Amino acid sequence: MEKDKIQKFLANHIPFSFLKEEELKILIQNATIQKFERGETILHAGEAPVKYLYVLYDGLIFLLTDSQIVERIKPGEAFGIVSIISGTPVRLDVFAEEDSTCILIPREDFKKVFDLNKNFSTYYVSLLERRLTTLYKLYKEELVRLPERYPTISKVGDILTRDAVLCFPDTSIQDAVNLMYKEKVGSIVVVDKEKKPLGIITARDLRKIIAEKIDLSQPVSKVMSSPIVYINEDRAIYEAYFLQTSKSLNHLVVVDAANKVKGVVTAKDLMVAMEPTFSLSVLSKRITRTNKIEELKKIHQQTLNVIISLLNRGVGFSEMAELFSEINDMFTRRVLEIVEKKLMDESSWKPVRYVWVVAGSGGRREQILRTDQDNAIIYDDTVDEKGEKFLEELANLTNEYLAELGIPKCKANYMASNPEWRKSLEEWKKYFSSWIRFPDGDNLVRLALFLDLRPVYGDESLAQTLKTYVLDKIDTRSVRSIANMVANLASPISFFGRIKYGEKGLDIKLYGLFPISTGIKSLTVEAKSPITNTLERIDFLVDKEVLTRKIGDELKETYQFLSTLRLKHQLTQILKGEEPDNYLKPSELTELEENILKECFRVVSDHQKFLISKFGLIT
């Protein structure tokens, strides 16, 4: 076989595709071709360290231990890796299931390239050590290519250009004014002795002080704006932007992990940082200003286009999901405000004490493109029949308007327009008590769904009161039942180590995302934590030493990778005008994606085993 043909073949397969042309030439300069007949044993377990890296060109190779098949090698994949890297004897029997042709690369040439190319060596070492985190990082570096500065991945601390100008509460107004003038800043932060923020004075405040002829010898504590709104330096820039716009702030104080003042960002700073997504910034403002559903619908369509653009730029799933959840929340809040006004204008009804909540992926802030509606209403126990009628009309209109915007109705009817999911606080408590007492069938499904509820609009204390009640009532039996929902789900990996796609494809939600989110939910609820986001729940469990840091990192990377694949799949369907689903086809995946996907299902399987062991579940 010609050298050029060998080079072209290798260049089309991971991890050889990571190599530069000159590195590939090193591999093939002394490479040879060897054919093996069906039934021939290529390597025997216990043999001396191999002299070659074997890459299958065509045919089928099995790896066996004690006559049991542990892996099937397909064209483009290599074997003999452990022995050639570590210099140890062969660990497995290697058997030709079909007539096969292999490319044999001398050990010395392989090791030379192994030392030259970091990504090449990282791939093999990570695969051997089953380090999914490193593989996922490699995947992002090679295929996603994230922009260096982007509002969804850059931190607020990244745009701080100078230290904040500070003063103490007993500083006189005159001294504060002089300090602002000297430092040429538009604000001064009032702090305590530990540099924790107490208030802020801005140039706008000074104009008011002068206009009202306030005594400048008074302490700044008399005129400062307080309590102060601040954000941690490690939060994403877009979060600062939403906080700044929702609170109508010109100056936003930035603090460190100890809540000590680090600096101040202005509205202008944030707009400059948001420039790549300026259209999204404009659209978010338009959401809060329009009073017409038809206009909201157009804005929603434009917002989706911006989100698709962000995704194509390589923004990570967790950032995208949080961003899209915030956008959906903004639409929901605005629709509710419009509906409330419409109903009050048409009648003499007054607003009642209620809260609109979302559940499922929306409650976990993990919504993706065109997610459906999972929502409900919790209202105060004192609401009378007239108030209930008001909420009925509000729920019906809101669900209809959201559907018009392009947020589909829930097929299972988990929506506030369904009287079953529009109840008083006391009735919701009874619901949960019943679900917890009898955690099976529909009760179990509903318990798992609404444990993720999150308030979006209205009196949030109602939701918090219910959450506190539920976490107090939750018991071991119900938690075990939630874990049991996913602990015994069959793996989509075949006996030969291949992915079973099925006629429709691979249901990535059922076999990947669902086992992780639900299993992690059971562990977090058992610990009485109100956290709903899956990644944050994992961090919580690591902090509580329920999970090790290594296992936590692998679960997080797995969840994000699976979510990214689903998002990519659904985006492709939407662009084709198709209804998005969860079924991945093998033709959609690159070789690296498929390799990582198999490792992900190994992580899922280990997670299931952990749940079985921890809760004593029957397999």
Q: State residue 305's pLDDT score.
A: 61
Q: State residue 277's pLDDT score.
A: 54
The domain segmentation of the chain, as residue ranges, is 3-118, 161-272, 276-459, 482-615
**Whose structure tokens read 């955690």?**
439
Listed as ranges, residues in the chain with pLDDT below 50 are: 131, 134-135, 141-150, 276
The correct answer on CATH 3.30.460.10 for the domain covering 276-459 is yes
Model confidence over 205-237: pLDDT tens digits? 888 888 888 999 999 999 999 989 999 999 988
Output the furthest CA–CA distance in the chain (Å, rounded): 98
SS3 225: strand
d(CA 50, CA 162): 59
Beta bridge partners of 61: 73, 96
- Dig out the tokens for 241 from the structure: 């932007």
Q: State residue 143's pLDDT score.
A: 43
- For the domain covering 482-615, report its CATH number: 1.20.120
- For the domain covering 161-272, report its CATH number: 3.10.580.10
SS3 per residue for 249-276: CCEEEEECCCCCEEEEEEHHHHHHHCHH
d(CA 286, CA 290): 6
Q: State residue 313's pLDDT score.
A: 60
**Distance (Å) of CA 346 to CA 338, 340, 388, 591, 593:** 12, 10, 16, 60, 56
Compute the 3-state secondary structure of the chain and give helix, strand, coil in percent, each to the nearest 5.
55, 15, 30
- For the domain covering 3-118, report its CATH number: 2.60.120.10
Half-sphere exposure of 151 (CA within 13 A, CB side): 23
Cβ-proximal residues to 458 (8 Å cutoff; 6+ apart), any chain: 336, 353, 354, 355, 356
Query: The whole model's pTM is what?
Result: 0.67
Q: Cβ(253)–Cβ(157) under 8 Å?
A: no
Q: Cβ(448)–Cβ(524) under 8 Å?
A: no
SS3 296: helix
> Cis omega before residue 439 (within 30°)?
no
Q: State residue 43's pLDDT score.
A: 94
Q: Cβ(189)–Cβ(200) under 8 Å?
A: yes
DSSP annotation string for 526-537: HTT-----HHHH
